[in-house]
Amino acid sequence: MAFSAGFSPHPKVSYANSAPTGVASEAEYVEIGVTERCDPAAVRAALDAALPPGLDIVAVVEARSPDFVQRLEASIWQIELPGMGVAEVEIAAQKLLAQGEVTVERLTKNGVRAFDARGPVVSVSVEPGSGCAILRAVVRHATPSVRPDDVLKALRQVAGLVPPAPPRVTRLAQGPLDPVGATVGDPFAHDRAPLAAAKT
Amino acid sequence: MGNLGHMTVSDLARRGESVFDRLELLLPLVSKPIQYVGGELNATLKPWDDVQVHWVLMYPDAYEVGAPNQGVQILYEVINERVDALAERTYAIWPDLEALMREAKVPQFTVDGHRAVGDFDLFGLSFSTELGYTNMLSALSLGNIPLLARERDDSHPIVIAGGHAAFNPEPISDFIDAAVLGDGEEAVLLITDLTRDWKAAGCPGGRMGLLLELAKTGVIYVPAFYDVEYLADGRIQRVIPNQPEVPWRVRKHTLMDLDSWPYPKAPLVPLAETVHERMSVEIFRGCTRGCRFCQAGMITRPVRERSITGIAEMVENGLKKTGYEEVGLLSLSSADHSEIADIARNLADRYEGSQTALSLPSTRVDAFNVDLANELSRGGRRSGLTFAPEGGSERMRKVINKQVTEEDLIRTVTTAYSAGWRQVKLYFMCGLPTETDEDVLQIAQLARDVIKAGREATGSRDIRCTVSIGGFVPKPHTPFQWAAQLDHATTDARLAKLRDAIRADRNYGKAIGIRYHDGKPGIVEGLLSRGDRRIGAVILAAWQDGARFDGWSEHFSYDRWMSAADRALADQCVDVDWYTIRERTKTEVLPWDHLDSGLDSEWLWEDWQAALDEVAIDDCRWTPCFDCGVCDQMETQIQVGPTGVTDLPMPMVPAHAPVAEAATQPGA
């Protein structure tokens, strides 16, 4: 484990794009600085053992370049809307996509901030779930970041979509944006590739 | 008890089930939801049906304060090591979630299994302070457990109080079923044994049958088995057992040989931020300095030291299991360990160059303490040192038996400033017996002298001193248990004079910081700490009026407590002043006289008289016995070194697994 220099050294850990409080996630990424070369599999097992059930370390790779965070270009969000039908959500989603820009407001540490919640939305799809409609959105990471509740705010503004119960939100993936397929790729691909190449 | 008569089969099936699904829906709506989810490193979760005895342990304050508590962590581990028992933890719930839980009918839950606290057999509460009493009522109420012990039936947990405040549990005797005095390790094992056997025997006598079994041991206090009779003037006439099998006096527990109890072996590492982000190792228990205001020092006698090797093993093992970066060597006066210099040097050597910091919370005022601090902070950061002269004047320090001269203090701080420390904090009390304005104003003079000495020693004007002042509250089982507490108006006036005196000083005033609180909260603490059974009605009324988190200034309301006291004591011939600012006489029966802390009441009275005569007495760790009574009555003895062992027993190894640390630093 590497530590920062200075009067009060801190361990070198950085969390990129952490999901908002109250949101489930299948894809959070963290960079940890170490003082010596470590076996990624051993690090994965040790971290997993120290974390509570439900916080699972899925994969650890050795970073090959310092630009990892830049590869987290977009997220796929799954928003379950209990008590809502596919049709009404589909209509609202189309209305949102038809807009060029939808300004929403959010209370931040520095007061209320207004920003566009439509622009970063790359694609939206709707499918039926059990007792709910499931909305999937691919959202580009922007500043300020557009979060699932901002997308819901935008849906409410353009289509009056008001969920009757609190939505359940899960981040399914983060990674480089694939503009053609409107989806996100594996952010580890770059770090894995040289290893795979070395083996063959 | 979750197994008795009138529960239906479906009720039984639900015992021990998680309520997390329902709680989860509320969490996005409250502040700091992470404090309610548990999942800490080293937490234990056992299947409900694998064990016979289920304990829920509560520290009745917010998670951030309660989670690091050593007492709860020790008992949690001691119980969970047994194959026939489990222990889970619960903490006070903030008003925002409390309101939502009441609306959604989600019960008070444990953070381990998110099980309803009402499902457990035994509900243990650790009271470090009386200001947690209202949080107990919130937890009982949210847990669907009747607030009044007499209204509980066999389906409800047995509610047991422990911790320092339990040495006078009379004010909460309406709400608890039992109280344990003293060290909890062996007590929880005894209670677990008796509960298991009673359940195995088919719960003979129901709830009261088990309470009688507990009371018969002589070391567990069951208030329901004692009646209190009062005199016409409001004083207590006597406290008598109403069961032939229970003793007249209940004894405290004293754990001997700390080395055989190296707990916590695997300290909890919370995911949420807490007040102490470090590991703690208790290096000894008890204190024999004899400071007359100090309840902790009086009720935890005799001194029992952990050995130098025992401490080293706990530090090593704890760091391995947690990944913490700071270790606090805890006790009531850590620099007093008979081998502290060797302990500090060896630990500093061993962890030098690792990211492990060592700290020694200690209030001893002498140069030796500064040497220790230098040793422990070798190469690390130096923020501030705290010393506690407690009394502003030489006379006051004789009254309280804090044997520090002004010369000692100046020499100590000079050493500290010369060694590179720039900030010294001095801790004092206001409102001590026999105190005058003049005694408190001497604090200003002392602080000036400290800055002056610091500037001379360093040749620099960059020297600071912070004076921190707490209001004195007389506590049971101390020589000051008979003393009148100072009224809050006089306390406030005295502190204002001190503040003005410091601010008026042009040369030194700006280098001296002053921190204090107003006198009102101390009056409520005093009411609760020396109260009797009649105070239960006050606590209940204050809680019903909304009292919660009374240790937090933003939640505490003096007026709410006074209004509750006016109503609850309306029919009594006693009032708040009677409990707080009234001096007691030698012959008065005190509410806690039937609870035996080991201290001889004759000795306590003589020490109170010695205080009034301004006579100090020595520490029996270093000088002969002063017959406080503890060792004779409890058949114990002080356990101190030297052990003859000077080196750590283990080979040098990396201080801790590097990867484990990442887990402790969310958001770093």
ipTM, two decimals: 0.78
pLDDT at B316 over 90: yes
pLDDT of residue B668: 31
With respect to residue B121, please indicate whether it lies within any of the assigned structural domains.
Answer: yes
Q: Is A47 on the interface with B (CB under 8 A)?
A: yes
User: The tokens of B247 are what?
Assistant: 């003793």
CA distance B295 to B478: 6
pLDDT of residue B9: 44
Q: Is A160 on the interface with B (CB under 8 A)?
A: no
pLDDT at B362 over 70: no
With respect to residue B446, please indicate whether it lies within any of the assigned structural domains.
Answer: no
Q: What is the mean pLDDT of residues B135-159?
A: 98
Total domain count, chain B: 1
User: The tokens of B576 are what?
Assistant: 């708040």
The H-assigned helical ranges of B384-487 are 394-400, 406-418, 437-458
User: The tokens of B619 are what?
Assistant: 């520490």
pLDDT at B479 over 60: yes
With respect to residue B438, please indicate whether it lies within any of the assigned structural domains.
Answer: no
Strands across the sheet with B512-516, in order?
A: B385-390, B423-430, B464-471, B512-516
CA A15 to chain centre: 12
pLDDT of residue B583: 98
Amino acid letter, residue B191: I
Placement of tokens 């102490």 in the chain: B276
Please give the DSSP secondary-structure letter assigned to residue B109: B
pLDDT of residue B652: 44
Instruction: Read off the CATH number of the domain in which B120 is found.
Output: 3.40.50.280
Comparing A38 with B649, the larger pLDDT belongs to: A38
With respect to residue B282, please indicate whether it lies within any of the assigned structural domains.
Answer: no
- Numbers of helices and strands, H then E, in chain B: 22, 18
pLDDT at A94 over 70: yes
pLDDT of residue B420: 82
The H-assigned helical ranges of B433-535 are 437-458, 488-503, 520-529
pLDDT of residue B236: 98
Backbone CA torsion sign across B36, B41, B47, B50: negative
CA distance B597 to B310: 27
Q: Between A and B, how many CB-CB pairs are < 8 A?
A: 61
With respect to residue B410, please indicate whether it lies within any of the assigned structural domains.
Answer: no
User: The tokens of B378 are what?
Assistant: 């070798």
pLDDT of residue B7: 47
* Secondary structure element (H or E) that encloses residue B642, with its range: none
With respect to residue B369, please indicate whether it lies within any of the assigned structural domains.
Answer: no
pLDDT of residue B385: 81
Residues 1-20 on A with a CB inside 8 Å of B are: 1, 3, 7-11, 13, 15
pLDDT at A137 over 50: yes
Q: What is the mean pLDDT of residues B187-201?
A: 98
CA distance B620 to B638: 9
Of the candidates B269, B355, B662, the beta carbon closest to that of A47 is on B662
Indicate yes or no: CB of A166 within 8 angstroms of CB of B43.
no
Q: Does domain A71-184 have CATH number 3.30.70?
A: yes
* Secondary structure element (H or E) that encloses residue B210, with its range: helix B206-216
> DSSP letters along B548-578, please?
--TTSTTT--HHHHHHHHHHHTTTSS--HHH
| Structural contact between residues B348 and B648, judged by C-beta atoms closer than 8 angstroms | no
Q: Range of B211's domain?
A: 9-245
Number of residues assigned to chain A: 200
pLDDT of residue B554: 94
Buried/exposed code over B464-503 (b: 16+ C-beta within 10 A; e: otherwise) = bbbbebbbbbbbbbbbbbbbbbbbbeebbebbeebeebbe
Mean pLDDT highest for which of A53-57, A158-162, B618-622? A158-162
Q: Is B231 on the interface with A (CB under 8 A)?
A: no
pLDDT digits (tens, 9 = 90+) for B596-614: 999 999 999 999 999 999 9
Q: What is the mean pLDDT of residues B149-155?
A: 97
pLDDT of residue B659: 39
Beta strands in B287-422 (DSSP E): 304-305, 326-330, 357-359, 385-390
Backbone torsion region of residue B297, taken as left when φ is above 0, otherwise alpha when ψ lies between -120 and 50, otherwise beta? alpha
Lowest-confidence region among A30-34, B91-95, B360-364: B360-364
Q: Is A41 on the interface with B (CB under 8 A)?
A: no
Cβ neighbors of B218 (< 8 A, separation 6 or more) are: B246, B247, B250, B251
With respect to residue B122, please indicate whether it lies within any of the assigned structural domains.
Answer: yes
pLDDT of residue B667: 35
Q: In chain A, whose CA is at the least distance from the CA of B43?
A: A52
pLDDT digits (tens, 9 = 90+) for A18-42: 898 889 999 999 999 998 999 999 9
pLDDT at B648 over 60: no
With respect to residue B186, please indicate whether it lies within any of the assigned structural domains.
Answer: yes
| Structural contact between residues B220 and B158, judged by C-beta atoms closer than 8 angstroms | no
Indicate yes or no: CB of A52 within 8 angstroms of CB of B38.
yes
Indicate yes or no: CB of A166 within 8 angstroms of CB of B41.
no
Comparing A181 with B564, the larger pLDDT belongs to: B564
Q: Which residues of A touch B35 (CB under 8 A)?
A: none
Indicate yes or no: CB of A52 within 8 angstroms of CB of B659.
no
pLDDT at B250 over 80: yes
Q: Which residues of A touch B28 (CB under 8 A)?
A: 21-22, 166
